[in-house]
Chain A
Amino acid sequence: MMSFVETSRISFRALKANKTRSALTMLGIVIGVMAVIIMFAVGTGANRQISQQFASLGTNILMVRPGADRGPGGGSRNTVNTLVVEDAYSITEHCGAVAYAAPVYGGNAQTVYGNANYPAKVTGTILDYFAIQDWELVSGRAFTDQDVRSATKVCVIGQTIVEELFGGEDPLGKIIRVKKIPMVVIGILEELGDSPRGNDQDNVVIVPISTAQRRMFSPSRPDTVSMISVKAIDETHLDIAQKQIEDLLALRHKIRPGQDNDFSVRNLTQFVESAKSATAVMTMLLTAVAGVSLLVGGIGIMNIMLVSVTERTREIGIRMAVGAKSSDIRLQFLVEALTLSLLGGMIGIVLGVGGAQFISTGFGWATEVSLMSVLLSFGFSGFVGIFFGYYPAYKASLLNPIEALRYE
């Protein structure tokens, strides 16, 4: 019996004798492994990025929207008018697990200052909303409860509005027109950047909710809100807060037992989960495609090994004549196939890790190479080598030495 080291040495020499062919055969595995690793890295990176962005938004936020919950992504915005300002005040007052609750009502409106104008997102709310969003003002002040009560024509503007309307000018105390209504700028919001969904969060004009309702958008029911934003006292009270809100609003809206609620309460973790599961499905699909290319690489190995066995029939005959057993021959060809696939796997790992690096520096995508994906793809390429190498090796071992020696 020959040692494994000797067998590997023989196999290595045979592969070296046909360098171009060996390299091309390996290419299939190289590309497959590289693709698996890159896909995994992009998927893992995207997932991590989603988690981080949502974490920065605060994890103890709840959102109450009008209309029954239609599951993740089921839109219910502004379709029904079941939530009112008074619901928000009631939540603050009666729900012990809630720190702040702020009604929000708004829409899109053209803003004008001098010759400049810009389409902005107008958010009508109350002072507590600044606390819920953890917003800081860079200058000026926020509006007061008194402003909300009397629907004062004041506003706080975001950085995009500052740039688009004022350029270098100081906006504080200036009057801008929002939906043709003159409003005094009393505060300027810090820079917020883009949201996880890519919206410009700095393109906002924040006004007292009563001003938005009565002076700007005039909904059919004057105290309608599009959403109530809630901050629980901390993360551990999120579920309790949600329950308290549901019970309170069901009571206020006179929902009978067994009847669907006419509102829905959702927390941000649910958004995170649905976003994550979307990327997970994407990652799985891409990895499956990459896996198929690994499989095709394996078929390439089988193809070449079959050709190689036929070409080297005489060599097999000679080896058998001088004392090689069938198992020696089988092992030799199996190790050749395994060497091809594992070597291809290793090159693929190097290129995959490099490729993931390139994507993150070149395209600015977050990528993260996981040890699991490296081990998995390396193991899989080994499996492919054995699986597709076995048949040619088995065929070689079945050769009759007399006929093999006579083969031209």
Chain B
Amino acid sequence: MALVLVNNIHKSYSLGDVEVHALQGVSFSIGEGEFVSIMGASGSGKSTLMNIIGCLDIPSKGKYILNGEDVSSLGSDQLANIRKDTIGFVFQGFNLLPKMSALENVELPMLYKGVGAKKRREGAMEALKKVDLEDRADHQPHQLSGGQQQRVAIARALANDAPLILADEPTGNLDSHTSEEVMKLFVRLNEETGKTIIQVTHEPDMAHFSRRILTFRDGRMLRDEKVRT
């Protein structure tokens, strides 16, 4: 079954007097358990697409069906609920809350789900174990290296048991060695726990850790190719 089903979506917005058509009829589907990379130059519309897939935004036209539910025209509260249950985000700049420990950062999605304090702690500890950082649970972000911070962010994306992980240039701020570690972690999560992972990247090396690459240009999908292993 397709987890992400995008059917002829358009997105336009106005910048002052100019109408910008960021997406002009994009269609594809991503099945459960896939690991997909989205590539394209800046201005290709890939960020807009990620915002829509991540339920942070809705398309101007077309249908987006996530996990069997049409989310193309939901309100902001309903989108927040979908994000909470279905999507884990990993950002280029890690986006951890400062002055909070790694454990508390990982607990955050569960907090908004209304999970009790004890269960939150256990769940967050388990997520940190999956990224091999259980011994850093009490550290604050500034006490961790970039790679460790990104792994905490990945643990946070795992915390709610969401089926979909969306990573927006997850290695953009990391050196090549650490980048590779993060990619290997994604591959492991994808293979061992069956998480569906979609990442945006413009490094071909990183894209090749995934199984499928979608390439975008000028708001349209240019190529959809399998990666040979």
Contact = CB atoms under 8 A, between A and B. Distances in A.
A150 interface: no
A115 interface: no
A280 B113 CA distance: 54
A259 interface: no
A319 B112 contact: yes
B80 A320 contact: yes
Interface stretch (B33-41, B91-99, B144-152): B91-99
Q: Counting chain B CB atoms within 10 Å of each CB, which of A10, A322, A401 scores highest?
A: A322
Interface in B157-204: 160
Contact of A2 (B89, B91, B112): B112
Interface string A304-320: 00000000001101111
B83 interface: yes
Nearest to B76: A326
Nearest to A317: B95
Contacts of B56: 321, 401-402, 405
A172 B54 CA distance: 106
A323 B160 contact: yes
Contacts of B114: 1-3
A17 interface: yes
A396 to B, nearest CB: 14
B169 to A, nearest CB: 13
B57 A318 contact: no
A337 B111 CA distance: 21
A6 B51 CA distance: 29
B111 A402 contact: no
Contacts of A401: 56
A3 B50 CA distance: 31
A403 to B, nearest CB: 10
B194 to A, nearest CB: 21
Contacts of B99: 13, 17
A315 B97 CA distance: 6
Contact of B51 (A1, A17, A402): A402
Contacts of B208: none
Nearest to B109: A322
Contacts of A321: 54, 56, 83, 89, 95
Contact of B77 (A2, A17, A326, A402): A326
B173 to A, nearest CB: 14
B97 A324 contact: no
A401 B156 CA distance: 18
Interface residues of A, number: 24
Contacts of A318: 95-97, 108
Contact of A323 (B51, B57, B112): B112
Interface string B129-157: 00000000000000000000000000010
A214 interface: no
Given A314-B95, A326-B76, A402 B57 contact: yes
Contacts of B84: 322-323
Contacts of B80: 320, 323-326
Contacts of B12: none
Contacts of B57: 402
A328 interface: yes
B154 to A, nearest CB: 13
Interface string B85-128: 10001010001110110000000110111100000000000000
A13 B97 CA distance: 12
Contact of B89 (A17, A322, A326, A328): A322
Given A401-B56, A402-B57, A322 B91 contact: no
B60 interface: no
Contacts of B95: 314, 317-318, 321, 405
B105 to A, nearest CB: 9
Contacts of A320: 80
Q: Counting chain B CB atoms within 10 Å of each CB, which of A314, A326, A327, A401 scores highest?
A: A401
Contacts of B89: 321-322
A36 to B, nearest CB: 35
Contacts of B54: 321
B109 A323 contact: yes
B29 interface: no
B42 interface: no
A328 B77 CA distance: 10
20 contacts: A2-B111, A6-B111, A10-B111, A317-B95, A318-B95, A318-B97, A321-B89, A321-B95, A322-B84, A322-B109, A322-B112, A323-B80, A323-B83, A323-B112, A324-B80, A325-B81, A327-B77, A328-B112, A401-B56, A405-B91
Q: List the 4 closest pairs (A to B, CB-CB), nearest first.
A: A323-B84, A322-B109, A323-B112, A325-B80
Given A318-B95, A321-B89, 17 more contacts: A317-B95, A318-B96, A318-B97, A321-B54, A322-B83, A322-B109, A322-B156, A322-B160, A323-B81, A323-B113, A324-B112, A325-B80, A325-B81, A326-B77, A328-B112, A402-B51, A405-B91
Interface of A: 1-3, 6, 10, 13, 17, 314-315, 317-328, 401-402, 405
Interface of B: 51, 54, 56-57, 76-77, 80-81, 83-85, 89, 91, 95-97, 99-100, 108-109, 111-114, 156, 160
